[in-house]
Amino acid sequence: MGWIFQSAVVTLVFLRSAPPGTGIIAGGPMRAVFETLGIQDVVAKSLGSSNPYNMVRATFDALRHEDSPRGVAARRGKKVSDIVSRRRDQAGEGVEAQA
């Protein structure tokens, strides 16, 4: 998955999925949002205002505009299973390469 970009007022938020086991790499209010929602592997960066209200708002807006696997599959003309399994296969290859 590529970067998700969303802005709220003067806060800019970038979100990206991370390989399994990475955890939450985000600061302050964004980390609290991800932990509350149960999101485990994500990399996030905010630019601009560090006002917690704006950061939370921009984070929710970015998550709201995220594409579902079904939408990505339809846009690419593939099956959902092809897209979801591909991510799992790549994660497994990375673990084997480290061993």
* Residue 11: strand pairing partners: 8, 48
* Residue 5: strand pairing partners: 14
The CATH-assigned architecture of domain 1-66 is: 2-Layer Sandwich (3.30)
Three-state secondary-structure class, residue 31: helix
**Amino acid identity of 58?**
A
Query: What pLDDT score was predicted for residue 44?
Result: 94
Domain boundaries, the chain: 1-66, 67-99
| Other Cβ atoms closer than 10 A to 20 | 15
Summarised one tens digit per residue, pLDDT across range 5-45 is 666 568 888 999 899 999 999 988 999 999 999 999 999 99
* Residue 26: strand pairing partners: none
User: Model pTM?
Assistant: 0.69
Three-state secondary-structure class, residue 17: strand
* Cα distance between residue 45 and residue 52, in whole Å: 14
